[in-house]
Amino acid sequence: MMEKIIIGRCERVGLPALGIPMIEAKVDTGAKTCCLHAFVIEPFTKNDEIWVRFSMHPHRANTKTILDCEARVIDRRDVTDSGGKSELRYVIETDIVIGNETYTEQINLSDRENLRFRMLLGRNLLRDRFLVDTGLHFYTGYPSSLPEEERKRIKQRKRQAKK
């Protein structure tokens, strides 16, 4: 039996293939799949495959920072949110870095602008890999995909904010 990794109710993860070195994600055992904040989602064709371009705000408190991403579409699915509303969403597949580990997972795209977390980690990712301790948050630390100089900048900003 594989040993499971303990994670908290929210974690910092990286999505390096999308150019997102770090994003705070809510661990959501009620969600089947992972979900990523995206707006201005535009499909296009590349090498005879359907891709999407989308923009996203990686930080909830900063809507001035916008990242533009591209990914190959693997599906479009009806996804029902926690309020019971169904929405047809694009689904992509990409690597998710949690701590020092990398997992390839399907992620649906939805506008999460008014929600606290820009990303949800769903059961398909969590199953057979993780144990969730709801008393912990950011337990796995920074994703290994986050460059060291960025880690230092974050730590320095936190020290300055405490002063």
Digit-coded pLDDT (tens) for 117-139: 999 999 999 999 999 999 999 99
Give the per-residue pLDDT at 83.
Answer: 75
Sign of CA dihedral 106, 109, 110, 116: positive
The domain segmentation of the chain, as residue ranges, is 5-162
Q: Give the model confidence (pLDDT) of 86-118 as tens digits.
A: 889 999 999 999 999 999 999 999 998 888 899
Q: Cβ distance 12 to 138 under 8 Å?
A: yes
**pLDDT at residue 9 greater than cutoff 70:** yes
List, in sequence order, every residue forming a beta bridge with 137; answer none if it has no partner.
Answer: none
CA distance 99 to 34: 17
Residue whose structure tokens are 């005879």: 48
Closest C-alpha to 31, from 135, 106, 93: 106
Q: Is 135 helix (H, G, I), strand (E, B) or coil?
A: coil
Residue 156, judged by CB atoms within 10 A of its CB (0-12, 13-18, 19+), counts as exposed
The CATH-assigned architecture of domain 5-162 is: Beta Barrel (2.40)
Residue 159: band (very low, low, confident or very high) from pLDDT cuts 50, 70, 90: confident
